[in-house]
Amino acid sequence: MSTVTFREALIRAMGDALEEDERVFLFGEDVAAAGGSFKLTEGLLERFGPKRVRDTPISEQAIIGTAIGAAVMGLRPLAEIMFADFAAVCFDGIANEIPKYRYMTGGQVSMPLTIRMCNGAGGGFGAQHSQSVENWFLNVPGLKLVVPATPADAYGLLRSAIRDPDPVLFFEHKSLFNTKGELPDAPAPIPLGLAETVRHGEHVTVVATQMMRHHAMRAADELAVAGIEAEVIDPRTLVPLDYATIAASVDRTGRLVVVQECPNSGSWGATLVARLVGERLEHLDAPPALVGAPDTPIPYSGALEELWIPSVERIVEQVKRTVSY
């Protein structure tokens, strides 16, 4: 067991995947010679050479088009879109081409590709470079959406994503790159669609992903002082979603608070609340609550950006309201 950063876990996962399967190759803007804009691919060019680790022009359409063609021909492309926000530039390829190949060919053509994207606010990158865009793809059947929060999850989920026979969008939160955590000496892939209960509690179920998982855990520590024991669940993947684990927790606690770094309208959290209300209303002792961001672009100002991001204090306040309902 060793302590590594989120960044180091990603690099190790990509290196192990490249070493394991010669069909895997990595490409994107500045991923080779520069080691990635966020140094997420550092050292991989030196290990695997320019045929396996390739720089591309600044063209998201070209990156996604190449990934489609390579996957159709039997390779396992690992494409990087530098900022998740730039998925809008190549949205047609991701939403209207990639997820439909297997279906439209009657299973004759698979699409085993992984697209890595850096998402999330907190770095002062402004409205066009700070969004959590997972919700853009929530209504596109055929895509798997992965949202790791720890170094161990980053490693294990990325290994599973690259091995998956279907397309996976893998979101890496920019504010997590330097966070540290334990990684086994021989880490194993983590199955997609398996949530983790990171804290057990009896009074309320709190569901959160990526940076919000860490905020939720700090909030749970504060709530415990006040006598409220929160159960914190990290879905780890939004599609497939481990609904069974979340539902079983809500059945026990009778209360649900979802924390997400995005506006609530049309979000994965709103979808989860709607499903739970529709299927398990009799198990709820209080209305489910969403702690999200305002329906505004993400401010560039550091002070305003901090107010935009759901805080530990907001989570604590909402949980207390839900428990006292």
Tokens 């961001």, residue located: 293
Question: What one-letter code names the amino acid at 288?
Answer: P
Contacts of 212 (CB under 8 A, 6+ apart): 259, 260, 261, 310
**Residue of 129, 203, 214, 215 marked active site:** 129
Residues in contact with 21: Cβ distance below 8 Å, sequence separation at least 6, in sequence order: 76, 162, 163
Q: What angle do CA 316, 321, 325 make, to 5 degrees?
A: 150
Active site residue 173: no
Instruction: Decide if 147 contacts 237 (C-beta within 8 A).
Output: yes
| Residue corresponding to tokens 């390579």 | 70
Helix or strand run (H / E) with residue 275: helix 268-280
Q: Two tokens at 155?
A: 């490693």
Letter for the amino acid at 209? Answer: T
User: 119 pairs with which residues across the strands?
Assistant: 173
Host H or E run for residue 307: helix 302-308
Q: Residues with catalytic annotation?
A: 129
